[in-house]
Amino acid sequence: MATKRSEPRVINQVVSRRKPRRGGSRPQPRRRADLSDLLRSARFFAKPAAVLVVAALLIIGYNALAGSRLFEVRKVEVIGASAALASDIENTVRRAVGQTRLLYVDLATIKQRVEAITRVRSAMVARVLPDAVYVSVTERQPAILARRESQTIMWLDEEGVELGEITSFDAGEEVPPIAKGLSEGARTAAAVADDRERISIYKQLHTELGQAWKMIDEIDLTFPKNVNVRLTSPPVTVVLGGKEFRQRFDMAHQVLSAIRLRDIETLGRFRVQDPERLIENADNISFIDVSRGDRIVLSFSTPGREKQESDGPPKVSSQKPNPQPPVRKTVRQEPKKVTGNRGQGTGKR
């Protein structure tokens, strides 16, 4: 019996790859990855670095250009000012600029210095490349002649700001009436407001009186509700009060004219009693009050004094001579007749 040869046994074996040894044969891909990361990081920081470099170059270039002679201030252009004021403004600007180049000029400082000039109400300042400073101003205009406590006569603008003495501006052929009673020195806001009211009344008088404006020498605006004007001829003070200026001025003018012309009939229309005595004292009349409506009050400047009232119907009384200046205030009372020499006259306190 034959024996079978045994089949060879087959063994299946799975062979896995060996792990690379450390420090072995795969360093090359790792170096490539590190280089790629480095390049990406470089690109990330390159953009802001480039911006910083460009900004630095621009700053250096700007400073070099701005400080060059190209921007040296050569011209100062002034708009809105008279010739004399424009010259003052130009000198002020050039002193403020000095050697500073145009792009470095402090416009706010120049504006402040220009507005510090008395005759400048407001100013606007700008640069005009490459070498000019532009200044536009609103100039204060003279509105009123005012007598100060020192007896100096000054021009004031609409806000009561002093602009200069009477010779500083051309008043034309005729000097306007001089005002007194406006605030002086450092003024509070309330004082400025009061002066504006006084100047407004001054202009109102000018408008209402028309041609009669030329007859006035001085206007007392100390109390805006009790305005007094002094005539040029005769030098009589007329109290107008605070309203109806033209009507009251005409009344005073007619009474004074009637006294000067010895027009008893006109004086009668104003119900003035004892017109003969008024006519006798015509040269001594220094004061007439037409602000009361119901009566006219006259005062006399003589070695003594007379006071005459017209009080609907007018009443006349007399008073003894008094060496004191005329007193404007009167007190209504029953008439008291006293006989006396000329100069004692009749009046009523």
Among left, alpha and beta (phi > 0; psi -120 to 50; other), residue 271 is left
Would you state the pLDDT for residue 270? 83
> 296: closest CA among 341, 348, 343, 261?
348
Average pLDDT rounded to a whole number, residues 180-188: 91
Residues 86-137: tens digit of each pLDDT: 999 999 999 999 888 888 899 999 999 999 999 999 999 999 988 899 999 9
Helices 245-260 & 189-209 angle (0-180, nearest 10)? 60
pLDDT reading at 330 higher than 80:
no
C-beta separation of 291 from 226 below 8 A: yes
Rg of the chain over CA atoms, in angstroms?
A: 48
Question: Six-digit token pair at 219?
Answer: 């206007």
Average pLDDT rounded to a whole number, residues 243-258: 93
Residues 261-303: tens digit of each pLDDT: 999 888 888 877 788 888 888 888 999 999 987 788 888 886 4
d(CA 337, CA 295): 19
Domain at 69-139: CATH code: 3.10.20.310
d(CA 299, CA 339): 18
The answer to whether the pTM exceeds 0.85 is no
Question: Six-digit token pair at 157?
Answer: 């603008």
d(CA 198, CA 184): 13
Q: Write down the domain spans for the chain.
A: 69-139, 225-349
pLDDT band at 345 (very low <50, low <70, confident <90, very high): very low
Question: Six-digit token pair at 153?
Answer: 């006569």
Residues 5-44: tens digit of each pLDDT: 555 565 555 555 655 555 555 555 555 556 666 666 666 6
The number of residues in the chain equals 349
